[in-house]
Amino acid sequence: MKIYVGNLSYATSSSDLQGAFGKFGAVDSAEVVMDRNTNRSRGFGFVEMSDEGEAKAAIAGLNGKEMDGRTLKVSEAKPRRAETRSSYRF
């Protein structure tokens, strides 16, 4: 299950996410999304856990909890929306 983690401190690293979620079970991957231009955290990330029960326990256990001075927003990740292009030409 892919999990969205929002409201991250800019100081939070991918390994910090791995450690926090690892308390609930096996973490397949943990990544803080970085801005391409500044190489600074964008304030959110994603964690993948293959066991759905562990993933749901992690969501319940970490949503609303504080990490690095920020209150986390943790939920199941929603699929990416397909980008729509306008049919109008300028």
pLDDT single digits (tens) 15-67: 999 999 999 999 999 999 999 999 999 999 999 999 999 999 999 999 999 99
Is the per-residue pLDDT at 88 higher than 70?
A: no
What is the pTM assigned to this prediction? 0.86
Q: β-pairing, 73-76 with 70-71?
A: unpaired
pLDDT given at position 80: 77
Listing DSSP states for 9-73 in one string gives -TT--HHHHHHHHHTTS--SEEEEEE-TTT--EEEEEEEE-S-HHHHHHHHHHHTT-EETTEE-E
**For the structural domain made of 2-73, what CATH number should be given?**
3.30.70.330
Among 54-58, 75-79, 82-86, which stretch is predicted with the lowest mean pLDDT?
A: 82-86
DSSP string, 62-82: HTT-EETTEE-EEEEPPPPPP
Please tell me the distance from the alpha carbon of residue 35 to that of residue 41, in angstroms, as a whole number. 6
Residue 59 CB partners (closer than 8 Å, separation 6+): 3, 74, 75, 76
Please say if the pLDDT value at position 87 is more than 80.
no
